[in-house]
Structure 1
Amino acid sequence: MGLFGRRKRKDEEPVVEVDEPVDVEDLDEVDRADGPYDETEAPDDEFPRLDLGSMRVPVPDGAQLQVEMDPAGPVRAVHILTPVGQLTLNAYAAPKSGGLWREVCGELAEQLRGDGATVRSHAGDWGQELSAALGEVALRFIGVDGPRWMLRGVVAGPPELAETSTEALRAMLRSTVVVRGTQPMPVRTPLQIDLPQAIAEHIAQAGQQT
Protein backbone atom coordinates (compact mmCIF):
# COMPACT_ATOMS: atom_id res chain seq x y z
CA MET A 1 0.00 0.00 0.00
CA GLY A 2 3.03 2.29 0.03
CA LEU A 3 2.19 3.48 3.51
CA PHE A 4 5.76 3.78 4.66
CA GLY A 5 7.17 5.71 1.71
CA ARG A 6 9.10 8.74 2.90
CA ARG A 7 7.77 12.03 1.52
CA LYS A 8 10.44 14.52 0.54
CA ARG A 9 10.54 17.62 2.72
CA LYS A 10 11.87 20.96 1.52
CA ASP A 11 13.60 21.87 4.76
CA GLU A 12 14.64 20.21 7.97
CA GLU A 13 11.82 20.55 10.50
CA PRO A 14 12.46 23.07 13.29
CA VAL A 15 12.95 21.48 16.70
CA VAL A 16 12.77 23.19 20.10
CA GLU A 17 13.09 21.88 23.61
CA VAL A 18 9.86 21.94 25.58
CA ASP A 19 10.22 23.50 29.02
CA GLU A 20 6.82 25.22 29.17
CA PRO A 21 3.51 24.62 27.35
CA VAL A 22 4.35 25.42 23.75
CA ASP A 23 3.07 28.55 22.01
CA VAL A 24 2.39 27.65 18.40
CA GLU A 25 0.83 30.91 17.23
CA ASP A 26 3.61 31.26 14.67
CA LEU A 27 2.93 27.92 13.01
CA ASP A 28 1.18 27.85 9.64
CA GLU A 29 -2.56 27.26 9.40
CA VAL A 30 -3.56 23.62 9.19
CA ASP A 31 -3.76 22.44 5.57
CA ARG A 32 -5.83 19.26 5.09
CA ALA A 33 -5.98 19.41 1.31
CA ASP A 34 -4.16 16.06 1.15
CA GLY A 35 -5.87 14.57 4.24
CA PRO A 36 -6.89 13.56 6.76
CA TYR A 37 -10.40 13.95 5.43
CA ASP A 38 -13.81 14.64 6.86
CA GLU A 39 -16.39 12.15 5.58
CA THR A 40 -17.96 14.96 3.51
CA GLU A 41 -14.72 15.39 1.57
CA ALA A 42 -13.46 11.80 1.42
CA PRO A 43 -11.79 11.05 -1.90
CA ASP A 44 -13.22 8.42 -4.21
CA ASP A 45 -9.87 6.68 -4.47
CA GLU A 46 -10.84 3.06 -3.64
CA PHE A 47 -7.97 3.08 -1.15
CA PRO A 48 -8.46 0.15 1.27
CA ARG A 49 -9.39 1.41 4.74
CA LEU A 50 -10.48 -0.36 7.92
CA ASP A 51 -13.94 0.93 8.90
CA LEU A 52 -13.95 1.67 12.64
CA GLY A 53 -17.16 3.69 12.65
CA SER A 54 -15.79 7.10 13.55
CA MET A 55 -12.64 6.54 11.47
CA ARG A 56 -11.70 4.79 8.26
CA VAL A 57 -8.05 3.94 8.68
CA PRO A 58 -5.53 2.57 6.16
CA VAL A 59 -3.77 -0.53 7.44
CA PRO A 60 -0.46 -1.55 5.84
CA ASP A 61 0.01 -5.05 4.50
CA GLY A 62 1.27 -7.46 7.12
CA ALA A 63 0.22 -5.31 10.08
CA GLN A 64 -1.51 -6.84 13.09
CA LEU A 65 -4.42 -5.33 15.00
CA GLN A 66 -4.59 -5.15 18.78
CA VAL A 67 -7.90 -4.05 20.31
CA GLU A 68 -7.88 -2.28 23.68
CA MET A 69 -11.19 -2.65 25.48
CA ASP A 70 -12.53 -0.41 28.24
CA PRO A 71 -13.52 -2.36 31.39
CA ALA A 72 -17.06 -1.03 30.88
CA GLY A 73 -17.24 -2.64 27.45
CA PRO A 74 -16.61 -0.04 24.70
CA VAL A 75 -13.52 -0.16 22.50
CA ARG A 76 -10.91 2.27 23.82
CA ALA A 77 -8.41 1.99 20.97
CA VAL A 78 -7.28 -0.11 18.04
CA HIS A 79 -3.50 -0.39 17.84
CA ILE A 80 -1.84 -1.21 14.52
CA LEU A 81 1.35 -3.21 15.04
CA THR A 82 3.97 -2.82 12.31
CA PRO A 83 7.69 -3.56 11.99
CA VAL A 84 8.49 0.12 12.68
CA GLY A 85 6.27 0.55 15.74
CA GLN A 86 2.77 0.59 17.19
CA LEU A 87 0.48 3.18 15.60
CA THR A 88 -2.74 4.36 17.24
CA LEU A 89 -5.33 6.87 16.01
CA ASN A 90 -8.19 8.37 18.01
CA ALA A 91 -10.74 11.02 17.06
CA TYR A 92 -12.43 13.48 19.41
CA ALA A 93 -15.26 16.00 19.27
CA ALA A 94 -13.89 19.53 18.91
CA PRO A 95 -15.28 23.08 18.82
CA LYS A 96 -16.28 24.69 15.54
CA SER A 97 -13.54 27.26 16.09
CA GLY A 98 -10.85 24.56 16.03
CA GLY A 99 -7.60 24.84 17.94
CA LEU A 100 -8.18 21.87 20.25
CA TRP A 101 -4.88 20.21 19.37
CA ARG A 102 -3.02 23.33 20.48
CA GLU A 103 -4.56 23.00 23.95
CA VAL A 104 -4.06 19.26 24.15
CA CYS A 105 -0.46 19.51 22.99
CA GLY A 106 0.62 21.69 25.90
CA GLU A 107 -1.16 19.44 28.39
CA LEU A 108 0.35 16.34 26.83
CA ALA A 109 3.87 17.78 26.99
CA GLU A 110 3.41 18.57 30.67
CA GLN A 111 2.08 15.08 31.38
CA LEU A 112 4.97 13.42 29.55
CA ARG A 113 7.52 15.49 31.46
CA GLY A 114 5.80 14.44 34.67
CA ASP A 115 6.32 10.82 33.64
CA GLY A 116 10.03 11.48 33.25
CA ALA A 117 10.14 11.75 29.47
CA THR A 118 12.37 14.06 27.48
CA VAL A 119 10.00 16.06 25.26
CA ARG A 120 10.60 18.12 22.14
CA SER A 121 8.29 20.13 19.91
CA HIS A 122 8.47 19.97 16.12
CA ALA A 123 6.82 21.89 13.29
CA GLY A 124 5.19 19.24 11.14
CA ASP A 125 2.83 18.88 8.22
CA TRP A 126 -0.24 20.07 10.18
CA GLY A 127 1.42 22.25 12.79
CA GLN A 128 2.90 21.19 16.08
CA GLU A 129 4.12 17.67 16.77
CA LEU A 130 5.61 16.26 19.95
CA SER A 131 8.36 13.68 20.28
CA ALA A 132 9.24 12.04 23.56
CA ALA A 133 11.91 9.64 24.75
CA LEU A 134 10.82 7.41 27.60
CA GLY A 135 13.20 4.63 28.50
CA GLU A 136 13.89 2.54 25.41
CA VAL A 137 10.81 3.81 23.58
CA ALA A 138 10.53 6.74 21.18
CA LEU A 139 7.09 8.36 20.93
CA ARG A 140 5.68 10.77 18.37
CA PHE A 141 2.34 12.57 18.78
CA ILE A 142 0.62 14.32 15.87
CA GLY A 143 -2.74 16.07 15.98
CA VAL A 144 -4.92 17.49 13.24
CA ASP A 145 -7.87 19.86 13.73
CA GLY A 146 -10.81 19.20 11.42
CA PRO A 147 -14.42 20.44 11.20
CA ARG A 148 -15.74 19.79 14.72
CA TRP A 149 -13.24 16.99 15.26
CA MET A 150 -9.62 16.48 16.22
CA LEU A 151 -7.64 13.46 15.07
CA ARG A 152 -4.68 12.41 17.21
CA GLY A 153 -2.09 9.85 16.25
CA VAL A 154 0.78 8.36 18.22
CA VAL A 155 3.49 5.91 17.28
CA ALA A 156 5.71 4.07 19.76
CA GLY A 157 8.80 2.26 18.61
CA PRO A 158 12.55 1.80 19.00
CA PRO A 159 14.60 5.03 18.93
CA GLU A 160 16.66 3.92 15.94
CA LEU A 161 13.47 3.75 13.83
CA ALA A 162 11.98 7.03 15.07
CA GLU A 163 12.28 8.84 11.75
CA THR A 164 10.73 5.98 9.78
CA SER A 165 7.91 5.45 12.29
CA THR A 166 7.09 9.17 12.26
CA GLU A 167 6.73 9.12 8.47
CA ALA A 168 4.52 6.03 8.78
CA LEU A 169 2.27 7.86 11.24
CA ARG A 170 2.02 10.91 8.99
CA ALA A 171 1.13 8.69 6.03
CA MET A 172 -1.58 6.91 8.02
CA LEU A 173 -3.07 10.19 9.21
CA ARG A 174 -2.99 11.62 5.70
CA SER A 175 -5.17 8.82 4.31
CA THR A 176 -7.60 8.57 7.25
CA VAL A 177 -11.26 9.62 6.96
CA VAL A 178 -13.03 10.91 10.09
CA VAL A 179 -16.78 10.31 10.51
CA ARG A 180 -17.84 12.90 13.09
CA GLY A 181 -21.62 12.70 12.65
CA THR A 182 -23.99 15.59 13.32
CA GLN A 183 -24.96 14.93 16.93
CA PRO A 184 -23.85 17.48 19.55
CA MET A 185 -21.08 16.27 21.85
CA PRO A 186 -19.04 17.86 24.63
CA VAL A 187 -15.62 18.97 23.44
CA ARG A 188 -12.94 16.26 23.87
CA THR A 189 -15.47 13.42 23.84
CA PRO A 190 -13.83 10.41 22.12
CA LEU A 191 -15.68 9.45 18.95
CA GLN A 192 -17.02 5.93 19.26
CA ILE A 193 -14.97 3.12 17.74
CA ASP A 194 -17.03 0.31 16.20
CA LEU A 195 -15.24 -2.87 15.20
CA PRO A 196 -16.03 -4.65 11.93
CA GLN A 197 -18.29 -7.64 12.57
CA ALA A 198 -15.62 -10.24 11.78
CA ILE A 199 -13.18 -8.72 14.28
CA ALA A 200 -15.86 -8.31 16.95
CA GLU A 201 -16.90 -11.94 16.56
CA HIS A 202 -13.29 -13.13 16.78
CA ILE A 203 -12.79 -11.20 20.03
CA ALA A 204 -16.04 -12.58 21.45
CA GLN A 205 -15.02 -16.16 20.62
CA ALA A 206 -11.57 -15.64 22.16
CA GLY A 207 -13.21 -14.30 25.31
CA GLN A 208 -15.41 -17.39 25.60
CA GLN A 209 -12.39 -19.68 25.37
CA THR A 210 -10.54 -18.02 28.26
Structure 2
Amino acid sequence: MFGWGRRRRDAEPGAVDEPDAADEYPPQAGPYDATEAPDDGVERLDLGSVRLPVPEGGQLQVEVDPAGPVRAVHLVTQVGRLTVSAFAAPRSGDLWPEVSEELAEQLRADGARVIAEEGDWGVELVADSPKAALRFVGVDGPRWLLRGVAAGPAEHAEACTKLLYAVLDETVVVRGEEPLPVRTPLPIELPEPILRHIQQAQTNGQAG
Protein backbone atom coordinates (compact mmCIF):
# COMPACT_ATOMS: atom_id res chain seq x y z
CA MET A 1 0.00 0.00 0.00
CA PHE A 2 1.36 3.42 -0.95
CA GLY A 3 -0.09 6.34 0.99
CA TRP A 4 -0.92 9.20 -1.35
CA GLY A 5 -0.81 12.61 0.32
CA ARG A 6 -1.88 11.35 3.72
CA ARG A 7 -0.10 14.21 5.47
CA ARG A 8 -1.75 16.86 3.32
CA ARG A 9 -5.32 15.61 3.54
CA ASP A 10 -6.51 18.44 5.78
CA ALA A 11 -4.59 21.10 3.89
CA GLU A 12 -6.10 20.22 0.52
CA PRO A 13 -9.67 19.07 0.96
CA GLY A 14 -10.94 17.19 -2.03
CA ALA A 15 -7.45 16.46 -3.34
CA VAL A 16 -7.70 12.88 -2.10
CA ASP A 17 -10.48 10.75 -0.67
CA GLU A 18 -11.45 12.03 2.75
CA PRO A 19 -11.37 9.45 5.58
CA ASP A 20 -14.45 8.55 7.51
CA ALA A 21 -14.66 8.09 11.27
CA ALA A 22 -13.52 4.49 10.96
CA ASP A 23 -10.29 5.46 9.18
CA GLU A 24 -7.42 3.79 10.98
CA TYR A 25 -4.57 5.85 9.59
CA PRO A 26 -2.23 6.80 12.44
CA PRO A 27 -2.20 10.53 13.24
CA GLN A 28 1.56 10.76 12.70
CA ALA A 29 3.24 10.48 9.34
CA GLY A 30 6.77 10.14 8.08
CA PRO A 31 9.46 10.37 7.18
CA TYR A 32 10.50 8.02 9.96
CA ASP A 33 13.71 7.39 11.81
CA ALA A 34 14.72 3.73 11.64
CA THR A 35 14.16 3.42 15.39
CA GLU A 36 10.50 4.36 14.88
CA ALA A 37 9.79 2.73 11.52
CA PRO A 38 6.20 1.44 11.41
CA ASP A 39 5.24 -2.11 10.55
CA ASP A 40 2.76 -0.87 7.96
CA GLY A 41 3.19 -3.32 5.12
CA VAL A 42 4.58 -0.66 2.76
CA GLU A 43 7.16 -2.12 0.39
CA ARG A 44 10.33 -0.06 0.51
CA LEU A 45 13.52 -0.24 -1.50
CA ASP A 46 16.43 -0.61 0.94
CA LEU A 47 19.24 1.74 -0.09
CA GLY A 48 21.17 1.59 3.16
CA SER A 49 20.70 5.06 4.60
CA VAL A 50 17.17 5.40 3.24
CA ARG A 51 14.33 2.99 2.56
CA LEU A 52 12.11 4.37 -0.18
CA PRO A 53 8.65 3.39 -1.38
CA VAL A 54 8.66 3.14 -5.16
CA PRO A 55 5.52 4.57 -6.83
CA GLU A 56 3.69 2.26 -9.21
CA GLY A 57 5.34 2.44 -12.60
CA GLY A 58 8.39 4.23 -11.16
CA GLN A 59 11.85 3.31 -12.39
CA LEU A 60 15.16 3.58 -10.58
CA GLN A 61 17.90 5.78 -12.06
CA VAL A 62 21.33 5.57 -10.43
CA GLU A 63 24.22 8.03 -10.65
CA VAL A 64 27.57 6.37 -9.96
CA ASP A 65 30.98 8.03 -9.70
CA PRO A 66 33.73 6.56 -11.90
CA ALA A 67 35.50 5.63 -8.67
CA GLY A 68 32.53 3.53 -7.61
CA PRO A 69 30.43 5.29 -4.91
CA VAL A 70 26.77 5.96 -5.68
CA ARG A 71 26.18 9.69 -5.98
CA ALA A 72 22.39 9.70 -6.13
CA VAL A 73 19.33 7.56 -6.74
CA HIS A 74 16.33 8.96 -8.61
CA LEU A 75 12.78 7.69 -9.01
CA VAL A 76 11.66 8.38 -12.57
CA THR A 77 7.88 8.57 -12.95
CA GLN A 78 5.41 9.63 -15.63
CA VAL A 79 5.07 13.10 -14.08
CA GLY A 80 8.71 13.81 -13.28
CA ARG A 81 11.81 12.72 -11.41
CA LEU A 82 12.03 12.42 -7.62
CA THR A 83 15.29 12.47 -5.69
CA VAL A 84 15.45 11.72 -1.96
CA SER A 85 18.76 12.10 -0.12
CA ALA A 86 19.79 11.94 3.54
CA PHE A 87 22.55 13.91 5.23
CA ALA A 88 24.20 13.96 8.65
CA ALA A 89 22.86 16.73 10.89
CA PRO A 90 23.50 18.01 14.42
CA ARG A 91 21.56 16.63 17.34
CA SER A 92 19.90 20.01 17.73
CA GLY A 93 18.31 19.67 14.27
CA ASP A 94 17.14 22.79 12.40
CA LEU A 95 19.64 22.33 9.57
CA TRP A 96 17.15 22.74 6.72
CA PRO A 97 16.41 26.47 7.29
CA GLU A 98 20.11 27.22 6.86
CA VAL A 99 20.55 24.85 3.92
CA SER A 100 17.42 26.11 2.15
CA GLU A 101 18.63 29.72 2.29
CA GLU A 102 21.94 28.75 0.71
CA LEU A 103 20.16 26.64 -1.88
CA ALA A 104 17.84 29.50 -2.80
CA GLU A 105 20.82 31.82 -3.30
CA GLN A 106 22.54 29.25 -5.49
CA LEU A 107 19.44 28.71 -7.62
CA ARG A 108 18.96 32.45 -8.11
CA ALA A 109 22.62 32.80 -9.06
CA ASP A 110 22.00 30.15 -11.73
CA GLY A 111 19.15 32.23 -13.13
CA ALA A 112 16.15 30.44 -11.60
CA ARG A 113 13.13 32.22 -10.16
CA VAL A 114 12.74 30.96 -6.57
CA ILE A 115 9.76 31.23 -4.23
CA ALA A 116 9.79 30.06 -0.60
CA GLU A 117 6.56 28.49 0.63
CA GLU A 118 5.58 27.20 4.06
CA GLY A 119 4.76 23.50 3.98
CA ASP A 120 3.99 20.80 6.51
CA TRP A 121 7.67 20.18 7.14
CA GLY A 122 8.73 23.84 7.05
CA VAL A 123 10.09 25.95 4.22
CA GLU A 124 9.82 24.54 0.71
CA LEU A 125 11.53 26.06 -2.31
CA VAL A 126 9.76 26.29 -5.66
CA ALA A 127 12.04 27.13 -8.57
CA ASP A 128 11.40 27.62 -12.27
CA SER A 129 14.43 26.92 -14.45
CA PRO A 130 14.70 26.69 -18.23
CA LYS A 131 14.91 22.89 -17.96
CA ALA A 132 12.28 22.02 -15.36
CA ALA A 133 9.93 23.07 -12.58
CA LEU A 134 11.59 22.19 -9.27
CA ARG A 135 10.45 21.80 -5.68
CA PHE A 136 12.80 21.21 -2.75
CA VAL A 137 11.47 19.87 0.55
CA GLY A 138 13.60 19.38 3.66
CA VAL A 139 12.79 17.44 6.82
CA ASP A 140 14.94 17.73 9.96
CA GLY A 141 15.12 14.47 11.90
CA PRO A 142 17.19 13.09 14.78
CA ARG A 143 20.78 13.63 13.58
CA TRP A 144 19.69 13.59 9.95
CA LEU A 145 18.30 15.86 7.26
CA LEU A 146 16.16 14.37 4.51
CA ARG A 147 15.92 16.35 1.29
CA GLY A 148 13.41 15.61 -1.43
CA VAL A 149 13.46 17.13 -4.90
CA ALA A 150 10.71 16.99 -7.52
CA ALA A 151 11.73 17.92 -11.06
CA GLY A 152 9.59 17.80 -14.16
CA PRO A 153 7.64 19.70 -16.80
CA ALA A 154 5.69 22.70 -15.51
CA GLU A 155 2.37 21.14 -16.58
CA HIS A 156 3.01 18.19 -14.25
CA ALA A 157 4.39 20.22 -11.33
CA GLU A 158 1.37 19.72 -9.05
CA ALA A 159 1.19 15.97 -9.62
CA CYS A 160 4.95 15.60 -9.20
CA THR A 161 4.83 17.57 -5.95
CA LYS A 162 2.05 15.39 -4.52
CA LEU A 163 4.03 12.30 -5.44
CA LEU A 164 7.09 13.67 -3.67
CA TYR A 165 5.03 14.33 -0.52
CA ALA A 166 3.73 10.76 -0.64
CA VAL A 167 7.22 9.30 -1.02
CA LEU A 168 8.60 11.40 1.86
CA ASP A 169 5.64 10.40 4.01
CA GLU A 170 6.65 6.75 3.73
CA THR A 171 10.46 7.07 3.74
CA VAL A 172 12.57 5.57 6.54
CA VAL A 173 15.99 7.08 7.35
CA VAL A 174 18.75 4.85 8.73
CA ARG A 175 21.22 7.29 10.27
CA GLY A 176 23.57 4.80 11.93
CA GLU A 177 25.78 5.53 14.94
CA GLU A 178 28.93 6.63 13.12
CA PRO A 179 29.96 10.25 13.88
CA LEU A 180 29.90 12.25 10.65
CA PRO A 181 30.53 15.91 9.84
CA VAL A 182 27.33 17.90 9.45
CA ARG A 183 25.98 17.85 5.86
CA THR A 184 27.87 14.69 4.94
CA PRO A 185 25.67 12.62 2.57
CA LEU A 186 24.67 9.37 4.23
CA PRO A 187 25.99 6.47 2.15
CA ILE A 188 23.77 4.81 -0.42
CA GLU A 189 24.04 1.05 -0.73
CA LEU A 190 22.39 -0.61 -3.70
CA PRO A 191 20.67 -3.99 -3.43
CA GLU A 192 22.83 -6.75 -4.89
CA PRO A 193 20.63 -7.41 -7.99
CA ILE A 194 20.70 -3.71 -8.96
CA LEU A 195 24.44 -3.49 -8.33
CA ARG A 196 25.09 -6.51 -10.57
CA HIS A 197 22.94 -5.00 -13.31
CA ILE A 198 24.93 -1.73 -13.21
CA GLN A 199 28.27 -3.54 -13.21
CA GLN A 200 27.17 -5.65 -16.18
CA ALA A 201 26.05 -2.53 -18.07
CA GLN A 202 29.40 -0.84 -17.37
CA THR A 203 31.28 -3.92 -18.53
CA ASN A 204 29.26 -4.11 -21.75
CA GLY A 205 29.84 -0.41 -22.36
CA GLN A 206 33.60 -0.79 -21.99
CA ALA A 207 33.56 -3.81 -24.25
CA GLY A 208 31.71 -1.85 -26.90
Query: In structure 2, how many angstroms separate the alpha carbons of the residues matched to 1:71 and 1:209?
Result: 15
| Residue equivalent to 1:130 | 125
**Contact 2:30–2:171 (8 Å) recurs in 1:** yes
Comparing 71-80 with 197-206, greater Cα deviation is found at 71-80
CA deviation vs aligned residue, 1:8-57 (integer Å, no higher than 9, x gap) = 34379xxxxxxxxxxxxxxxxxxx93100000000011210000000000
**Contact 1:101–1:145 (8 Å) recurs in 2:** yes
- Compute the displacement of 1:177 (Å): 0.2
**Contact 2:72–2:85 (8 Å) recurs in 1:** yes
| Residue equivalent to 2:20 | none
| Residue equivalent to 2:90 | 95
Q: Structure 1 length as normaliser, TM-score?
A: 0.87
Amino acid at match of 1:45: D
Query: In structure 2, how many angstroms separate the alpha carbons of the residues matched to 1:54 and 1:84?
Result: 26
Q: Secondary structure at the match of 1:95?
A: coil
Q: Is it true that 1:41 corresponds to 2:42 in the alignment?
A: no
Query: In structure 2, how many angstroms separate the alpha carbons of the residues matched to 1:153 and 1:5?
Result: 15
The CA RMSD over aligned residues, in Å, is: 1.7
| Residue equivalent to 1:182 | 177
Please point out which of 64, 68, 72 is paired with 1:73: 68
> Identity percentage over the alignment?
62
Please list, as runs of the form range in 1=range in 2, the aligned pairs for 1:81-160 lying within 5 A after superposition: 81-160=76-155
| Residue equivalent to 1:52 | 47
Q: Secondary structure at the match of 1:168?
A: helix
- Compute the displacement of 1:73 (Å): 1.4
Query: In structure 1, how many angstroms separate the alpha carbons of the residues matched to 2:98 and 2:84?
Result: 18
Query: In structure 1, how many angstroms separate the alpha carbons of the residues matched to 2:117 and 2:33?
Result: 25
CA deviation vs aligned residue, 1:132-153 (integer Å, no higher than 9, x gap) = 0001410000000000000000
Q: Unpaired segments of 5 or more residues in structure 2?
A: 14-26
Query: In structure 2, how many angstroms separate the alpha carbons of the residues matched to 1:183 and 1:130?
Result: 30
Query: In structure 2, how many angstroms separate the alpha carbons of the residues matched to 1:149 and 1:196?
Result: 22
Query: In structure 1, how many angstroms separate the alpha carbons of the residues matched to 2:5 and 2:168?
Result: 13
Change in CA separation of 1:209 and 1:142 when aligned onto 2, cut-off 3 Å = same
- Compute the displacement of 1:126 (Å): 0.5
Query: In structure 2, how many angstroms separate the alpha carbons of the residues matched to 1:158 and 1:45?
Result: 33
Q: Is it true that 1:10 corresponds to 2:11 in the alignment?
A: yes
Q: Secondary structure at the match of 1:105?
A: helix
- Compute the displacement of 1:72 (Å): 2.4
| Residue equivalent to 1:163 | 158
**Contact 1:4–1:164 (8 Å) recurs in 2:** no
Q: Structure 2 length as normaliser, TM-score?
A: 0.87
**Contact 2:3–2:170 (8 Å) recurs in 1:** no
Q: Unpaired segments of 5 or more residues in structure 1?
A: 13-31
Aligned residues: 191
Change in CA separation of 1:3 and 1:159 when aligned onto 2, cut-off 3 Å = farther
Q: Secondary structure at the match of 1:46?
A: coil
Q: Secondary structure at the match of 2:155?
A: helix
| Residue equivalent to 2:57 | 62
- Compute the displacement of 1:60 (Å): 1.0
